[in-house]
Amino acid sequence: MKYLHLIWANLFRKKTRSLLTVLSIVVAFLLFGMLDAVRVAFTVRDSLEGASRLVVSSKLSIIQPLPYADLAQIQRIPGVEAVAFANWFGGIYQDRKNFFANFAVSNNYLDLYPEFVMPEDQKQTFMATRTGAVVGRNLAKRFGWKIGDKIPLQATIFPHKSTGNTWTFDLVGIFHARDSSNANQEDQMIFHYDYFDEGRTFGNGTVGWYMVKIADPRHTSQIAQTIDHLYANSVAETKTQTEKQFNLDFAKQLGDIGLIVSSIMGAVLFTILLLTGNTMSQAVRERIPEYAVLKTIGFSNQTVLWLVLGEALLMIALGGVFGLGLSVLGADALSAAFRGGVFQVAVQTWLSGSVLMVVLGLAVGFPPALRAMRLRIVDALSGH
Amino acid sequence: MNNNDNLVNIRGVTKSYQRAKQKVEVLHGIDIDIARGDFLALMGPSGSGKTTLLNLIGGLDKPSAGSINVAGTRIDQLSSGELARWRASNVGFVFQFYNLLPMLSALKNVELPLLLTGLSGTERRRNAEVALRLVNLGDRTQHKPKELSGGQEQRVAIARAIVSDPTLLICDEPTGDLDRHTADEILGLLQVLNREHGKTIVMVTHDPKAAEFAHRQLHLDKGTLAKSANNGG
Ligand SMILES: Nc1ncnc2c1ncn2[C@@H]1O[C@H](COP(=O)(O)OP(=O)(O)O)[C@@H](O)[C@H]1O
Ligand SMILES: [Mg+2]
């Protein structure tokens, strides 16, 4: 520890160079923290404890449909208050980049979502209109839709029996989230399952997933088990989980999150390795005569080795801790921006981040440290 | 002269450097005795091997052959780790270009050798201050090397060399970069350290005037000792 001032003084000797290097480490670890928060969100299973709604989907894959016949069986399970169902439609409005969630739902679907508020008359019109659709306020705003508009969607999965790829819906209602913190859930469109099922050319009589409302949240995990048990060894085994988990799993099929995250992280860290490695080597090269003086005074080879290693570790740790700290704020921003995800920089991220700092610090510091350790005093002093 | 009065005994020392594929012998069979309390000036033309010999006496390098005995220790037989420890407690070094660490204050520079001792932070600081006062720089402790004159820098370097109270001071052209007046001040300081603090000093110099501050002079030519003279008998 008594050498710390020596390391510190060396570290910030060329202030601009050191600050730029530390800054790049900050950015790298900011990215690391946020990406790892995303990865963790996708790998940690959401606890069933206390949830009042469950989603039942195919165990095989989230896009595998379930038989319509399951509905009656699930409804009969004690403790189940209501069951709704839905089917992903995946329609596109005008252009592929206008992505939003749209799916067909059972008539009682909105009853299970008291957090969505819609005027009573619009609700009634929806029930009475076979081709009716309701959208969240955000979505209506985004495309300038008004009640009474006809909205054509291009099918990506389910062509219509008679109208081909174009399905036309009548906008009859606009809902909004009761709680403004759920406003990010206003980006969806729902319409009647009956209209969808009659129109589609395949898959009739199946549903994408069931929503189960639980009478008493204390029994949630037991009911989840009962449902999955019911269909164990059947042709359509089920996976019953919380909505949050379901949403995450749904997003996951868009791409291998783990792979994406680790490739970005790998690229970033490799860059850092080169960048800081170069800075450290250059710094040590410039200071070779000074390390020779320290050795002349009697500093051992190992002490000199640790002075350089310590400097590399300190530099990475400074940037790393600051970057991870910033990623806590970054993760909050992510959570606010994306629906269905709660992104947090977990303890495990701090741990793996710290390990990463040490590994990077050693990798970056070792070559110049070895060079400083091995230098021969008389050669360095005489310039040989 | 009784052998026991000698701090340094050098016998049959040769030193070769490997240059590309070629081995070049720079010192050829050197014998020197340096008495405790001596102030020796080592003179000679450029490239004659003065620095090489000085580095051997200070334990910065090992001879290719021969023996070097300092205060009863055969330093030619020490491992490099043992040599480092030996240097820390027995030798102080002063160089032509001062070789201070530029990012540290004068005080922190002088403290450096004490980091290798068991002294506490306060003791280190106090000893460093004493050493700086001894070289007349008690009022420049917080200055960085850049903010000091050449003569002041060399005095900081001398304070650093004596702070852990070594018996032997090794000085390689300590005034080579200084004007006459400043050089004389530095040489006067070395004389005080020799006379009043009992330091044994071996100093390489080009400058006959500088050599006059020493007790005696040795001349090195092409790696061989030429003649010796006793200053003022
Ligand atoms: N570390 C070294 N490696 C190789 N050759 C060296 C080294 N140090 C000195 N020499 C060579 O040894 C000879 C003597 O050098 P040196 O002892 O520095 O002479 P002086 O100090 O008298 O000018 C010179 O030819 C020099 O080039
Ligand atoms: Mg020389």
B72: confidence class by pLDDT, cuts 50, 70, 90 = very high
pLDDT, residue A339, reads 60
Q: In which element (H, E) is residue A208 found?
A: none
pLDDT, residue B125, reads 96
Does the structure show a pLDDT above 50 at B153? Answer: yes
Binding site membership of B96 for ligand 1 (Cβ less than 6 Å): no
Nearest Cα residue in chain A from B166: A297
What are A174's two structure tokens? 């606009």
State whether A164 and A266 are in the same domain: no
* Domain presence at residue A302: yes
Sign of the C-alpha dihedral computed for residues B98, B100, B105 and B106 taken in this order: negative
Residue A144 burial (C-beta neighbours within 10 Å; 0-12, 13-18, 19+): exposed
State whether A218 and A292 are in the same domain: no
What distance, in Å, lies between the first and last C-alpha atoms of chain A?
33
Out of B60, B81, B99, whose CB is closest to A378?
Answer: B60
Note whether B85 contacts A298, CB cutoff 8 Å.
yes
> Which residues from B are below 8 Å from A284, CB to CB?
none
Is B84 an 8 Å CB contact of chain A?
Answer: yes
Does the structure show a pLDDT above 70 at A146? Answer: yes
Answer whether A166's CB lies under 8 Å from A153's CB: yes
* Domain presence at residue A54: no
Cα A116–chain centre separation: 24
* Centre of ligand 1 from the C-alpha of residue B114, in Å: 30
Does the structure show a pLDDT above 70 at A44? Answer: no
Pairing mode, if any, of strands B6-19 and B22-35?
antiparallel
Does the structure show a pLDDT above 90 at B18? Answer: no
Binding site membership of A379 for ligand 1 (Cβ less than 6 Å): yes
Out of B51, B101, B108, whose CB is closest to A382?
Answer: B51
Contacts of A365 by beta carbon, 8 Å cutoff, 6+ apart = A280, A308, A309, A310, A311, A312, A313
The tens digit of pLDDT for each residue in A84-120 reads: 999 999 999 999 888 899 999 999 999 999 889 999 9
Does the structure show a pLDDT above 80 at A183? Answer: no
A260 is in which domain, residue-wise?
A: 4-44+256-382
Average pLDDT over residues B135-151: 95
Average pLDDT over residues B12-28: 92
State whether A66 and A21 are in the same domain: no
**Count of domains for chain A:** 2
Is B60 an 8 Å CB contact of chain A?
Answer: yes
Q: Give, as residue ranges, everything with CB less than 5 Å from ion ligand 2.
A: B 51
Of B52, B172, B207, B225, best ligand 1 pocket probe by most atoms within 8 Å of the beta carbon: B52
Least distant ligand from the CA of A384 = 1
* Domain presence at residue A131: yes
State whether A39 and A145 are in the same domain: no
Give A115's DSSP letter. T
Question: Which residue's CA lies nearest to atom 6 of ligand 1?
Answer: B17
State whether A291 and A209 are in the same domain: no
Does the structure show a pLDDT above 90 at A181? Answer: no
State whether A181 and A125 are in the same domain: yes
State whether A77 and A220 are in the same domain: yes
* Domain presence at residue A178: yes
Out of A236, A270, A285, pick the residue that ends a domain: A236
Is B51 an 8 Å CB contact of chain A?
Answer: yes
Is B55 an 8 Å CB contact of chain A?
Answer: yes
User: In a mutagenesis test of the A interface, which of B103, B120, B158 is the best target, namely the one with the most A β-carbons within 10 Å?
Assistant: B103
What are A160's two structure tokens? 């219509």
Q: Which CATH architecture has domain B3-226?
A: 3-Layer(aba) Sandwich (3.40)
Average of per-residue pLDDT values in chain B:
93
What distance, in Å, lies between the first and last C-alpha atoms of chain B?
16
Dist CA B200 CA B115 (whole Å): 24
What is the reported pTM?
Answer: 0.74
Least distant ligand from the CA of B171 = 2
* Domain presence at residue A49: no
The tens digit of pLDDT for each residue in A354-379 reads: 999 999 999 999 999 999 999 999 99
Out of A181, A206, A236, pick the residue that ends a domain: A236
Query: Phi then psi for A20, rounded to 5 degrees?
Result: -60, -40
* Domain presence at residue A52: no
Does the structure show a pLDDT above 60 at A199? Answer: yes
State whether A321 and A373 are in the same domain: yes
How many angstroms away from the CA of B1 is the closest CA of chain A? 31
Dist CA A177 CA A137 (whole Å): 8
* Domain presence at residue A31: yes
Q: In terms of pLDDT, which residue wins out, B176 or A258?
A: B176
How many angstroms away from the CA of A366 is the closest CA of chain B? 20
pLDDT, residue A341, reads 63
Please choose, from the candidates B12, B43, B26, B14, the residue with its C-alpha nearest in 3D space to the C-alpha of residue B171. Answer: B43
A180: confidence class by pLDDT, cuts 50, 70, 90 = confident
State whether A187 and A91 are in the same domain: yes
Does the structure show a pLDDT above 90 at B164? Answer: yes
Out of A205, A236, A267, pick the residue that ends a domain: A236
Is B61 an 8 Å CB contact of chain A?
Answer: yes
State whether A326 and A350 are in the same domain: yes
Dist CA A216 CA A76 (whole Å): 15
Does the structure show a pLDDT above 70 at B162? Answer: yes
pLDDT, residue B59, reads 97
pLDDT, residue B233, reads 40
Contacts of B17 by beta carbon, 8 Å cutoff, 6+ apart = A384, B23, B24, B26
Average pLDDT over residues A110-135: 94
pLDDT, residue B1, reads 43
State whether A231 and A344 are in the same domain: no
Dist CA B29 CA B14 (whole Å): 5
State whether A71 and A217 are in the same domain: yes
What are B121's two structure tokens? 């932070």
Assign A87 to helix, strand or coil. strand
The tens digit of pLDDT for each residue in A321-340 reads: 999 999 999 988 888 777 65
pLDDT, residue A52, reads 87
Of A295, A379, A382, best ligand 1 pocket probe by most atoms within 8 Å of the beta carbon: A382
